[in-house]
Amino acid sequence: MIAEVEIAARRLRRGRSATSFAVEATSQGQVGAQANLVFAHSRDSTVDHDFLPCPDVPEPQDCPAFAEPSPLRPAFVDNFDTRRAGGTTPMSQADTPTIPRRPTSGFCSNRPAPSPGTATPTRT
């Protein structure tokens, strides 16, 4: 079913260096999404970051899945393709945990939406 979506934006504040907006998307009288946006001019900052180099890990497609879908975790997690790129899987009860020496690293991306007309996997 395709329904009309109405998007309403209102300015919350307009200042010298930043402006903020609230945006709400509604359909059939129900709120589908809300967002708060802040737009600001760049300015000098006293905050300084020490950026770490990227870890040496395989490409995402070469990494094992972090976990298979399970009824023991929230259903929304199944919308993401998570892959472990290094370290021990958290809560794995490994004999030699590597988390203190090398944190678990990985990749996370949205799973592709099912094609129209295909069944969506359900949990049992």
* pLDDT tens track for 30-76: 998 999 999 998 888 888 777 777 778 888 888 888 766 677 777 77
Residue with tokens 């395709």: 2
Cα separation, 55 vs 63, in Å, equals 14
% of the chain residues with pLDDT over 90: 25
Instruction: Kindly give the pairing relationship between strand 30-40 and strand 80-86.
Output: unpaired
Residues in contact with 97: Cβ distance below 8 Å, sequence separation at least 6, in sequence order:
88
Q: Classify burial at 104, counting beta carbons within 10 Å of its beta carbon; exposed 0-12, middle 13-18, buried 19 or more.
A: middle
